[in-house]
Amino acid sequence: MVNSKAVFAVIGGSQAYDLLLNGSIKGKRLGEINTPYGLSQPVYLVQDADTEMLFLSRHGEKGYSITAPFVNYRANVYALKELGARQIVSWSGPGAINEKYKIGGYVLPDDIIDETHGRESTFYKNLGIGFIRQFPVFCPTLRECILHTLQSLSVNAIDKGAYVCTQGPRLETPAEIRKYKSYGGDLVGMTLAPEVFLAKELEMCYASLCYVTNYAEGVVSRPFKAGELFEGLADDSDRKVVKNAVSLFPQIIKKIAENIKQQKTICQCQSLMERYKRRGDIGPDWHSWVAVP
């Protein structure tokens, strides 16, 4: 196992592979990490004079090679923990249920509705532990750092929103979107669950910065267009502003990596398994907590 001093990690979402391929994000390729749950996606160690971070592209490093339902979330999170990460910032490109959100705009979700099924969603399968409170869902320390960073870069963002995580890979029906809206959902995507829950099980800080890629089905009227992105659910102007939003991620994550060193800790993420430790159910070594397949 490669030793790393990086405590900050980034999980890149849609189009992260483009940033790797064009050199906007570059570093030492540590490769796929072997874990008890299989191989992770390749991990990169990104370093310069000011920062050091781990970077993993959720959907592959050379293209969109794996869709959300089939991502090995356990292997990815385990690998980053194994390499020393204690904090994870992810990005995701959901659709907007809330019509007040703008295409290409940034959103920091503060809650989640998990509509997935059949995904391996815990490290504690068949064990008697893992009853972790989900308030707040996303780490307040990281959220504060992201907001501060965006403000310093003069980048606007909405600082709250409920992210509905669907199974995929198909898109949602208009009726499903109406249902999610009635639940209070603002965004609909496919990747943050079980990722956030797995990170919390290993006492890692986790927060997500989303960029809106399109309006969800039925929110606005869009004709079907064969061969285009989402069959016309996103048009040319949408793609341009989304491309611009993604292009800023290398600058944003580098600045977050710098700022997190000075960020005041206001979360309890590092003590989420404390009651199990006090009861003697688990010891100090996190490797011994998890169920090995």
* pLDDT score at 286: 97
Beta pairing partners, 35:
38
Least-confidence region, from 19-28, 95-104, 116-125, 216-225 = 216-225
Per-residue confidence band for 14, with pLDDT thresholds at 50, 70 and 90:
confident
What's the CA gap between 58 and 15, in Å, rounded?
10
pLDDT at 243 over 70: yes
Q: Are 211 and 91 in contact (CB under 8 A)?
A: yes
Rounded to an integer, the average pLDDT of 78-96 is 97
Name the residue among 17, 232, 213, 194 with its Cα closest to residue 104. Answer: 213
Between the alpha carbon of residue 277 and those of residues 106, 197, 284, the distances in Å are: 38, 19, 7
What's the CA gap between 293 and 291, in Å, rounded?
6
Name the residue among 116, 117, 114 with its Cα closest to residue 185. Answer: 114
* pLDDT score at 11: 98
Mean pLDDT (the chain) is 94
Rounded to an integer, the average pLDDT of 26-33 is 96
* pLDDT score at 239: 86
The three-class DSSP label of residue 136 is coil
In this prediction the pTM is 0.96
Residue 184: left (phi > 0), alpha (psi -120 to 50), or beta?
A: left
Query: What is the CB neighbour count within 10 angstroms for residue 190?
Result: 26
In the chain, the percentage of residues whose pLDDT exceeds 70 is: 97
Rounded to an integer, the average pLDDT of 222-250 is 84
* Those residues with Cβ within 8 angstroms of residue 102's Cβ, 6 or more apart along the chain or in another chain: 212
pLDDT at 229 over 80: no
Burial level of 14, CB count in 10 A (0-12/13-18/19+)?
Answer: buried
In the chain, the percentage of residues whose pLDDT exceeds 90 is: 87
What's the CA gap between 182 and 205, in Å, rounded?
30
Count Cα atoms within 13 angstroms, Cβ side, for 102: 10
Parallel, antiparallel or unpaired: strands 28-31 and 106-107: unpaired
CATH number for the domain running over 8-286? 3.40.50.1580
Question: Please, what is the angle between helix 249-259 and helix 140-152, to 10°?
Answer: 120
* pLDDT score at 201: 98
Q: Are 245 and 153 in contact (CB under 8 A)?
A: no
Rounded to an integer, the average pLDDT of 89-108 is 96
Per-residue confidence band for 193, with pLDDT thresholds at 50, 70 and 90:
very high
Within the chain, strands assigned E span: 8-12, 28-31, 34-35, 38-39, 43-47, 52-57, 87-92, 95-96, 106-107, 111-114, 157-158, 162-165, 187-189, 205-211, 214-215
Query: What is the CB neighbour count within 10 angstroms for residue 246?
Result: 22
